A and B are shown apart, each in its own frame.
Chain A
Amino acid sequence: MLGTLAPSALDTALYIPDLRHRRKSAVFDELVDCAVASGAVRCDPALRELLRCRESLGSTSPGRGFALPHARSLAVRSTRVVVARSGRGVDWGAADGELVHLIVLLLSPSECPESAHLDLLGRLGNALRFQRQRQKMLEAGGFETIASLLREELA
């Protein structure tokens, strides 16, 4: 196991229970605003642009109603996971055409080795793979339930 996640990487300050926006670009701004407000990011214009560039290469939603955007950037202070839900759904350009209701954004600092970043990304993907798990996250009353479900895979 390569990637390690500090307990503070999953924090209620990095949780958006219901996104205000429905357009993908606006949602990215909402996610980054949340990371900035929590102190996880120190140069947000660079991060916003990087996320947009990554997305331009292909949607970060594998379908099934969730998205897994990710970035390694100098703008990020330490590895953090931003979790957001959208009751109305966001068109993330997934191949299956489904709207995205659950977004898990992985942010790693640039000095984080690529292998560790990818390892964490893979384990977040595993945590979201099963419909039953995703449903629990979508129905969770608070962030702790979501965090514990993610920690099970990341531990």
Chain B
Amino acid sequence: MTPVQSVLHLHDLDLLLHELQDAEALACFKRLGLPIGPLAPLEAARREAAERVDPRWRHHYDRAQRRYGGAVAAVRGRTCQGCHMTLPRSAAPAAGEMLALCESCGRILYWGVRSNA
């Protein structure tokens, strides 16, 4: 995985872990006949994913994760999907990069393919 993919994967795993610790979600899976086993493999995958994240982003990730429970926000229509603030043009990452920090909320912004973000 690339450094960007590692950050996204860590975020997705945290979302999944949160979901699987929620009683309503577990009840939904049970109703659907989708049993959930022990979370240990997922927690191990989370640890591995965290180790792969560049320390520069890991610091911001951990801080935003503690604060919001979701450290990365997608950018759609130049709006941070975490705090819903319109981002200034200067917030865009350098050419060839896909991550930046939201100056408003501190979440890591995922710009994706810039022309489609």
Asked if B12 and A50 make an inter-chain contact with CB atoms under 8 angstroms apart, the answer reads yes
Chain B residue nearest in CB terms to A118:
B28
Q: Which of A15-23, A67-75, A82-90, A142-150 contacts B (4 or more CB under 8 A)?
A: A67-75
Partner of A43, one of B4, B24, B35, B41: B4
Q: Are A72 and B19 in contact (CB under 8 A)?
A: yes
Would you call the interface of chain A mostly helix, strand, loop, or mixed?
Answer: mixed
Find out whether the CB atom of A72 lies under 8 angstroms from the CB atom of B12.
yes
Chain A residues with CB below 8 A from B100, complex form: none
| Of B13, B19, B42, the contact of A114 (CB 8 Å cutoff) | B19
Interface contact A110-B16, CB-CB below 8 Å: no
Most interface-central of B9, B13, B39 (chain A CB within 10 A): B9
Q: A43-B4, A49-B1, A122-B28 are in contact. Are A75 and B12 (CB under 8 A)?
A: yes
State which of A57, A71, A111 has its C-beta within 8 Å of the C-beta of B20. Answer: A57
Contact B72–A114 (Cβ < 8 Å): no
* Chain A residues, Cβ within 8 Å of B32: 62, 68, 121-122, 125
For residue B96, CB closer than 8 A to chain A, the reply is no
A70 to nearest B CB, angstroms?
9
Chain A residues positioned under 8 Å from B45 (CB to CB)? 53, 56
Among the listed A47, A49, A60, A110, which residue makes an inter-chain contact with B15, where contact means beta carbons less than 8 Å apart?
Answer: A110
Q: Which residue of B lies closest to A67 (CB)?
A: B34
- B73, chain A: closest CB distance, angstroms: 7
Is the pair B22, A75 in contact by a Cβ cutoff of 8 Å? no
The answer to whether A60 touches B24 (Cβ under 8 A) is no
- What is the interface residue range for chain A against chain B? 20 to 34
Contacting residue for A42 out of B41, B73, B112, CB 8 A? B112
Q: Contacts A50-B9, A58-B37, A62-B33 given; indicate if A72 touches B16 (C-beta within 8 A).
A: yes
CB distance from B85 to the nearest CB of A (A): 14
| Residues 41-74 of B at the A interface (beta carbon under 8 Å) | 41-42, 45, 70, 72-74
Q: Are A118 and B16 interface neighbours, CB within 8 A? A: no
Q: B116 interface residue, CB < 8 Å from A?
A: yes
Residue numbers in B under 8 Å from A68 (CB-CB): 32, 34
Query: Which B residues form the contact surface with A (CB < 8 A)?
Result: 1-2, 4-5, 8-9, 11-13, 15-16, 18-20, 22, 24-25, 28, 31-39, 41-42, 45, 70, 72-74, 81-82, 110, 112-113, 116
Q: Which 7 residue pairs are nearest across A and B when measured between Cβ atoms?
A: A62-B33, A46-B8, A125-B32, A111-B81, A50-B12, A42-B112, A46-B9
